[in-house]
Amino acid sequence: MKWLVTGGAGFIGSNFVFYLMEKYPGDQVVCVDSLTYAGNLETLESVMENPRFAFEKVDIADRKAIYALFEREKPDVVVNFAAETHVDRSVMDPGVFLRTNVLGTGVLMDACRQYGIKRYHQVSTDEVYGDLPLDRPDLFFTEETSIHTSSPYSASKASADLLVQAYHRTFGLPVSISRCSNNYGPYQFPEKLIPLMIANALSDKPLPVYGTGENVRDWLYVTDHCAAIDLIVRKGEDGSVYNIGGHNERTNLEVVKTILRALDKPESLIHFVTDRPGHDRRYAIDPAKIHRELGWLPTTAFDRGMEKTIRWYLDHRTWWEHIISGDYQNYYEKMYGNR
Ligand code: NAD
Ligand code: TYD
């Protein structure tokens, strides 16, 4: 089977590439990535020379280049991870989120229609459901929860989901959609909560916690997400949406304190800063459908996953130090300078 994985030079996409290369020694993987600030070829170093792997620097919104690629490669399956993914950046500059996340998704599906495909899989997010109140721990997002977005990021992801469902209904395109909770693990860009806090703590820099730190996220180790996507692509019902999550809710403050404890750093590094505009309070996934229909369950408990993740960032300092030494400095100053 030939997989086309978009956004494979980013966090989850690269982990998915590694997952496929290891699990299916007979399969080929074509990785498409335009290498934005979030894409990093160093991440893919270990597979770059593998004859079963090919890297193509292409923008998913570039129709001509995407069509030429499909014509040449004729993939069996497309898994679309490529996206602008950071909520804070979507508050600063929504335009690029619409271009990549909505128009890019449309271009990929048009190419699938034109050249034929066994399955198009859209990697979506639980953020399309909006948020849940902090004082109702009995409430969870199911696949039936209505779309109710808060940020330009989540709105663009929800728009893409609607487009994917429309292409299924109108054109009969074989599709599936997964909506996962927050991921953590190796190769996550250090602008997101967990790697940012690890990097700052290791440099004895302040840890900027938004608002009161009481917002809740539902954390899933990245390999569990990859296994779920693989299952959905191979066994999931055509046209269906699957939520992915492992009932791992933590307040941001709990996460930050876990990191400080593991690195033996003082809690005085925590700095409460101005809240994110429109900040979603709580995400919590009900994963009953994917468990019932496909037998998926997460295998990495939060404590073990955090241990592995922190170890990885300790062992791969050059990977993230390269990133935070470049353009990232300008972003950091702009985002946190006056907060
Ligand atoms: P990431 O920001 O680490 O990686 C995104 C990748 O997409 C980068 O390599 C980037 O270069 C590439 N890209 C961006 N625009 C592109 C374009 N126009 N053409 C081609 N490539 C482009 O993101 P991530 O955290 O790995 O997220 C991957 C996917 O999973 C996204 O669709 C995101 O919405 C979804 N998701 C993420 C999480 C999470 O917690 N990180 C949770 C649920 C869903
Ligand atoms: P993030 O990793 O950006 O993921 P998302 O907003 O998509 O869930 O943020 C996770 C949580 O951490 C979110 O509630 C915002 C909070 N946060 C901080 O408190 N400080 C930070 O510097 C960052 C990046 C996030």
- Report how far apart, in Å, the C-alpha atoms of 266 and of each of 253, 254, 262, 269 are: 14, 14, 11, 6
Residue nearest to atom 37 of ligand 1 (CA): 125
Cβ proximity of 80 and 4 under 8 Å: no
Instruction: Output phi, psi for 226, to 5 deg.
Output: -60, -45
Q: Which atom of ligand 2 is nearest to the CA of 127?
A: 7
Is any ligand 1 atom within 6 A of the Cβ of residue 127?
Answer: no
Express each pLDDT in 108-155 by its tens digit: 999 999 999 999 999 999 999 999 999 999 999 999 999 999 999 999
pLDDT range class, residue 331, cuts 50, 70, 90: confident
Please enumerate, as own/partner, the contacts of 195-198 that have beta carbons within 8 Å and a separation of 24 or more.
195/313, 195/320, 197/255, 197/256, 197/259, 198/259, 198/263, 198/309, 198/310, 198/313
Which residues sit opposite 200 in a β-bridge? none
Quote the CA–CA distance of 286 and 124 in Å, as a whole number.
Answer: 15
Protein residue whose Cα sits closest to atom 5 of ligand 1: 10
Predicted confidence at residue 306, as pLDDT, reads 98
Ligand 1 in contact with 60 (CB < 6 A)? yes
Q: What is the DSSP letter of 103?
A: I
Residue-wise pLDDT tens digits, 36-84: 999 999 999 999 999 999 999 999 999 999 999 999 999 999 999 999 9
Contact in structure between 105 and 160 (CB atoms under 8 Å):
yes
Cβ 87 vs Cβ 151: under 8 Å: yes
Is the beta carbon of 252 within 6 A of some atom in ligand 2? yes
Mean pLDDT of the chain: 97
Instruction: Tell whether the model's pLDDT for residue 171 goes beyond 90.
Output: yes
Q: Sorting pLDDT into bands at 50, 70 and 90, what band is 26?
A: very high
Provide CB contacts within 8 A for 195, sequence distance 6+: 184, 188, 189, 313, 320
Q: Which residues contact 134 (CB under 8 A, 6 or more apart)?
A: 214, 215, 216, 281, 282
195 lines ligand 2 (CB under 6 A): no
For tokens 């934005």, what's the residue? 36
Q: Which pLDDT score, from 0 to 100, does residue 327 have?
A: 74
The catalytic position among 127, 161, 224, 249 is 127
Query: Ligand 1: which of 43, 81, 226, 243 to mutate, judged by most atoms within 8 Å of the beta carbon?
Result: 81
Q: Which of 284, 281, 298 is nearest to 218 (CA)?
A: 284
Distance 38 CA to ligand 1 centre (A): 8
How many angstroms is it from 295 CA to the middle of ligand 2? 30
Q: Which residue has the tokens 């600030």?
A: 37
Q: How far apart, in whole angstroms, are the C-alpha atoms of residue 15 and residue 36?
A: 17
Is residue 126 part of the annotated active site? The answer reads yes
